[in-house]
Amino acid sequence: MAKVKGPLFSLSAGGKLADTLVYGDWKGIDWVRQYVIPANPKTADQQEQRGFFL
């Protein structure tokens, strides 16, 4: 993750850009990071943990 020194395109950056970069702010600090596709493991242990939330 990298800190943004200036706002993207002179606007307050926030959100996702073309499934490549994600922009946002946290406690007044602007940040940008690479978009990561969430993993969806279907192991027995993971399914058991998900069952607790249903």
* Domain boundaries, position 35: 2-52
Which residues share a beta bridge with 25? 30
Mean pLDDT computed over 3-32: 70
The predicted structure's pLDDT at residue 20: 79
CA distance 29 to 26: 5
Confidence at residue 5, expressed as pLDDT on a 0 to 100 scale: 60
Neighbours of 38 (CB within 10 A): 4
- Give me the pLDDT at residue 27, please: 83
Predicted confidence (pLDDT) per residue in 20-46, tens digit:
788 887 787 777 888 888 788 788 888
Whole-model pTM over 0.75: no
* Domain total of the chain: 1
The CA distances from residue 44 to 22, 36, 48, in Å, are 31, 24, 6
